[in-house]
Amino acid sequence: MFTGIITDIGRVLETAREGDMRARIATGYDVGSIDIGASIACDGTCLTVVALGAAPEPWFEVNISAETLDRTNLSAWAPGRRLNLERALRVGDELGGHIVSGHVDGLAEVIAIRDEGDSTRVRLRAPEDLARFIAPKGSVALNGTSLTVNEVAGREFGINLIPHTKEVTTWGDVATGDLVNLEIDTLARYVARLQEWQA
């Protein structure tokens, strides 16, 4: 489990296709404190650490299945790409965002960006089958970042990025046309499921 509060910006060092995809990611984390088999959310996707190293800079490696590549934007990873990273939640950690599983539901497309004062308003289009789970003032995880939904109109919804968020995540790099990993709020999923049972 994660919170959607990004704690490091990693960088793809290399990728290799071996049936699935293997990626090496540079990190600011102390790799001595990471165990093989640990979970790290990379752009919102929960991945398992399969190798670690410290030279020439700290790094970890993950394997990415074909299913994950089909459902996320990870198939577009290339050397140099910056990634939002978050280590798994531990008992006693502050829950500053919302409960995030790291299981990406689909891709949302960035369709508009505009500055509003010091902040940036981003409008996105969700897949049709996920749009009903997105509600004004509800939470979503986008590329692993816990964000509040400002408004919803059909499949489109808006978020606001404050300067701090753009500085400590990859959201400062966002561009129109980008596809971002979308995880809907777990609570919204269960509420919708209950409504189905009651109908």
Question: CB under 8 Å to 26, separation ≥6 — which residues?
Answer: 10, 11, 12, 13, 57, 58, 59
Alpha helices in 66-175 (DSSP H): 66-71, 128-131, 163-168
Question: In a structure prediction context, what are the per-residue pLDDT tens digits for the chain, which is 199 residues long?
Answer: 899 999 999 999 999 987 799 999 999 999 999 999 999 999 999 999 999 999 999 999 999 999 999 999 999 999 999 999 999 987 666 666 778 899 999 999 999 999 999 999 999 999 999 999 999 999 999 999 999 999 999 999 999 999 999 999 999 999 999 999 999 987 766 676 666 666 6
Residues 133 and 184 in one domain: yes
Q: End-to-end CA distance of the chain, in Å?
A: 31
Domain that holds residue 17: 8-87
CA distances to 86, 115, 141, 166, 188 from 119, in Å: 23, 6, 19, 9, 27
- 193 and 113 housed in the same domain: yes
Q: Are residues 54 and 130 in the same domain?
A: no
DSSP, res 44: T
Residues 82 and 120 both lie in one domain? no
SS3 (DSSP) at 18 = strand
Domain total of the chain: 2
* 82 lies in the same domain as 130: no
Whether 67 and 131 share a structural domain = no
| pTM of structure | 0.92
Structural tokens at position 79: 């050397």
In a domain, 134, yes or no: yes
What φ, ψ does residue 109 adopt, rounded to 5°? Answer: -100, 130
